[in-house]
C-alpha cells in the first residue's frame, strides 16, 4: 500500500510540475490560502472554477478550538484517523454511491495532510470525480474539494493537483 501511495504521489508531483503558471490567493477571513492556476476564478465564498467553468473547487477554513493548545506534531497524529473508510462516510451519503480510488496521508511542509481521490454516482445518474485534501494546524483547519464530470476532471488534472498541493490554513 505504501509503494502504491508513493507511486501515486510521484505521478501527482510530475503532473503538478507540468502545469502552467500559478498565482497566490489568500482569504484571511475564511482561513485559507492557495495558489490558483492561470485563468481560474478568485474564490468567492470559497468557490473557484476552472477557466472553462467545468471544474469546481471549494476551499474552507475553520477554527478548531479543540486543537488550539496542541503542537503541530500532536495535530498531525489526529490526522491519521482519515482513512478511506472515513472519506466514504463523508462523500457516499444521501443515495450517492461511488468509490474512494486512492487515499493517504502526505507530508506537506509541517502538515500531515489526509487526501483522497474518487468517483461519485449521483441518484439522478450524473457521475463525477473528486479530489480532497485537509490540512490542520493548532486551532485551524483548511479543506479543499474539487469535483467535475470525469472527462473534465481528467482534462484539468494538472491544475486540480496544483490546487490540492498548495492549500494552506491561515
40: cell is 481560474
Q: Is the pLDDT of residue 3 over 70?
A: no
pTM (two decimals): 0.86
95: CATH: 3.40.1000.10
Q: Which domain holds residue 95?
A: 2-169
> What does the pLDDT look like over 41-99, one tens digit per residue?
999 999 999 999 999 999 999 999 999 999 999 999 999 999 999 999 999 999 999 99
pLDDT range class, residue 21, cuts 50, 70, 90: confident
What is the count of structural domains for the chain?
1
Interval 113-125 mean pLDDT: 97
Number of Cβ within 10 Å of residue 14's Cβ equals 11
Mean residue pLDDT across the chain: 90
SS (H, E, C) the chain: CHHHHHHHHHHHHHHHHHCCCEEEEEECCCCEEEEEECCCCCCECCEEECCCCCCEEEEEEEECHHHCCCCHHHHHHHHCCCCHHHHHHHHCCCCCEEEEEEEEEEEECCEEEEEEEEEEECCCCCEEEEEEEEEEECCEEEEEEEEECHHHHHHCHHHHHHHHHHCEEC
pLDDT range class, residue 14, cuts 50, 70, 90: very low
Amino acid at each position: 500500500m505504501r509503494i502504491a501511495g508513493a507511486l501515486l504521489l510521484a505521478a501527482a508531483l510530475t503532473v503538478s510540475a507540468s502545469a502552467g503558471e500559478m498565482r497566490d490567493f489568500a482569504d484571511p477571513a475564511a482561513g485559507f490560502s492557495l495558489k490558483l492556476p492561470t485563468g481560474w476564478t478568485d474564490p468567492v465564498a470559497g468557490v473557484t472554477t476552472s477557466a472553462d467553468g467545468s471544474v469546481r473547487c471549494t476551499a474552507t477554513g475553520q477554527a478548531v478550538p479543540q486543537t488550539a493548545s496542541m503542537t503541530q506534531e500532536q495535530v498531525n497524529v489526529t490526522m491519521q484517523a482519515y482513512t478511506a473508510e472515513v472519506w466514504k462516510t463523508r462523500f457516499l451519503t444521501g443515495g450517492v454511491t461511488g468509490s474512494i480510488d486512492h487515499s493517504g496521508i502526505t507530508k506537506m511542509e509541517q502538515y500531515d495532510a489526509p487526501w483522497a481521490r474518487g468517483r461519485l454516482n449521483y441518484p439522478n445518474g450524473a457521475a463525477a470525480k473528486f479530489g480532497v485534501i485537509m490540512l490542520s494546524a493548532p486551532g485551524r483547519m483548511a479543506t479543499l474539494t474539487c469535483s467535475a464530470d470525469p472527462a473534465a476532471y481528467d482534462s484539468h488534472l494538472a491544475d486540480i493537483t496544483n490546487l490540492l498541493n498548495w492549500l494552506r490554513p491561515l
